[in-house]
Amino acid sequence: MRATVLKVLAAVGALLALAGLLALGRMWWDSRLPSTYNVMDFGSHDFGGGAVPAGHHSGGVSVDGLKGPQGGAPDARFTLTAKQGTMRLPSGRTIDALTFDGKSPGPELRVRRGDLVEVTLRNADVDTGVTIHWHGVDVPNAEDGVAGVTQDAVMPGGSYTYRFRAEQQGTFWYHTHQSSAKEVRRGLLGALVIEPSAGAAAPVDLVALAHDYEGTPTLNGADRVTKRRVAPGTPVRLRLVNTDNTPQRFTVAGTPFRVLAVDGTDVNEPQPLENTRLVVAGGGRYDVGFTMPASAVELALQDTNAALALSPDGRGDLPPPTSGSDFDPAVYGRPRPTPFDAQSRFDRTFVLKVGRKPGFYDGRPGIQWTINGGIYPDVPSFVVEEGDLVKLSVENDTDSVHPMHLHGHHALVLSRDEQAVTGSPWWTDTLSVEPNERYELAFRADNPGLWMDHCHNLKHAADGLTMHVVYAGVTTPFRVGGGVHNHPE
């Protein structure tokens, strides 16, 4: 009798274990991404509380039809050739890099606002393929450079031409958006500066681009102090760009300074700052301005050997490093009217909640990133219609920082942790969302297309922290996946 009960219990236990295993196997099987797929075929469609747009299922416009101006002679024309190469840092260290035109960072592209820009990308020998994304520039969708969404990756021997009008002005950067977690880290990136349409830029106008090569932090590719001669009284503008996955901490010593722009948008009435550390989000930019004093000024990447030292004699006894509080764009500068604000009536309201849970991502078990509870590709696409005013809440329920980057749009920060922004209007394209923070953003849906919205810690994006903002009726002929060599992340 007793023995029979035990046998039955053992059988039931075995069945349960088997069922559990089967369920787990099913989860694993279901998580595997097909060899090629259309980014639109997965996940759910979130309409943000608005009506389902009439054109949503009709598929009226292909990404291919959303190109920049095709006719007309360009005002600025560049060719960038992606190739493998060895680069030598000033310290003597050599890096096995991927370069544009043989260097990393690639050539600094400078254009003027209003210019028709034409860039031809050639791939010499990067066998995983290359594209160029114009980070922070709200280009037409087909010029956005996302492999498998707006174009096919350019394979060795191939080329692709981008054309767009530079409608913004400020500090931007460009990088490959094919296997970006690996290729950007290895060096396929550079600065893009859009100067004002008229008038001279500051007499001294320098990019300070931070990048980590194989664990060595650099500024403009130098892992040392770079010295420059600047006459006292000269207006100076420094354009800080963080091309890394994690926040970079810049210090400015030897002068008071102002933060003139955030993510390529001017700050309204910036006040002078001192002893303030500038923490720039992965993918983010800050422009800093000051008038050159009679003694040396140093812009440094904190706790590294990389720095830019400006001094009247070009040699410069460096000023002592500063410490102090962190710059906060939410309370800096002065308010001024914006095209919309927290009181506006929004057509759609979306929530993007970043979390973690155990599960499978493309067949790999682990603690995965989630968006609104789902593991990629089980994530929502936010569907909008052209003209919509959109509110977006971003919440971080993890203990990592996530620099969230929406392609093709600039968003106005309304609040952080329910506190309204009190300084200058704060427009962002790459917003550092700290653990347990919650932001409210607003943007106008004025640039039709399929737009990535992802974490610019590119390692996180490659692990699934990515989704799309989709305009109703827009479709793509391109496909993601191994079968077609398109791997945007």
Contact residues: ligand C2O, CB under 6 A: 133, 135, 175, 177, 283, 405, 407, 452, 454, 456
Least separation in angstroms between CB 467 and ligand C2O: 11
Least separation in angstroms between CB 291 and ligand C2O: 32
- Which CB sits closer to ligand C2O, 56 or 285? 285
Q: How far apart are CA 144 and CA 176, in angstroms?
A: 10
Least separation in angstroms between CB 454 and ligand C2O: 6
Strand partners, 250: 278, 301
- Which CB sits closer to ligand C2O, 391 or 454? 454
Least separation in angstroms between CB 457 and ligand C2O: 11
Where are the alpha helices (H) located in 397-439, listed in sequence order?
none
- Residue 72 main-chain phi, psi, to 5 deg: 95, 145
* Strands, sheet with 466-471, edge to edge from the N-terminal-most edge strand: 44-46, 380-384, 466-471, 450-455, 402-406, 430-433
Binding at 423: pick from ligand C2O, Cu ion, none (beta carbon under 5-8 Å per type): none
Least separation in angstroms between CB 243 and ligand C2O: 9
- Which CB sits closer to ligand C2O, 456 or 487? 456
For the chain, helix (H) and strand (E) counts, in that order, are: 3, 35
CA-wise closest residue to 48 among 350, 391, 380, 443: 350
- Which CB sits closer to ligand C2O, 163 or 177? 177
- What's the token pair of residue 86? 């060895």
Q: How far apart are CA 153 and CA 52, in angstroms?
A: 33
Binding at 456: pick from Cu ion, ligand C2O, none (beta carbon under 5-8 Å per type): ligand C2O
- Which CB sits closer to ligand C2O, 282 or 425? 282
- Which residue ranges make up the site for Cu ion (CB under 5 A)? 402, 455, 457, 460, 465
Is-cis flag, bond preceding 105, omega within 30?
yes
Binding at 454: pick from Cu ion, ligand C2O, none (beta carbon under 5-8 Å per type): ligand C2O
Least separation in angstroms between CB 394 and ligand C2O: 16
Q: What residues contact 444, with CB distance under 8 A and at least 6 apart?
A: 339, 340, 387, 388, 389, 390, 409
CA-wise closest residue to 309 among 243, 255, 248, 249: 255
Binding at 129: pick from Cu ion, ligand C2O, none (beta carbon under 5-8 Å per type): none
Q: How far apart are CA 338 and CA 366, in angstroms?
A: 44
Least separation in angstroms between CB 66 and ligand C2O: 17
Least separation in angstroms between CB 175 and ligand C2O: 6
Binding at 211: pick from ligand C2O, Cu ion, none (beta carbon under 5-8 Å per type): none
- Which CB sits closer to Cu ion, 257 or 439? 439
Q: How far apart are CA 480 and CA 120, in angstroms?
A: 23
- Which CB sits closer to ligand C2O, 270 or 283? 283
Binding at 457: pick from ligand C2O, Cu ion, none (beta carbon under 5-8 Å per type): Cu ion
Q: How far apart are CA 207 and CA 205, in angstroms?
A: 7
- Which CB sits closer to ligand C2O, 253 or 452? 452
Binding at 460: pick from Cu ion, ligand C2O, none (beta carbon under 5-8 Å per type): Cu ion
Shortest-Cβ-distance residue relative to ligand C2O? 135
Tokens 């948008």 found at: 265
Binding at 402: pick from Cu ion, ligand C2O, none (beta carbon under 5-8 Å per type): Cu ion
Least separation in angstroms between CB 384 and Cu ion: 23
**Exposure pattern of 371-393 as b/e (b: 16+ CB <10 Å)?**
bbebbbbbbbbbbbbbebbbbbe
- Which CB sits closer to ligand C2O, 407 or 487? 407
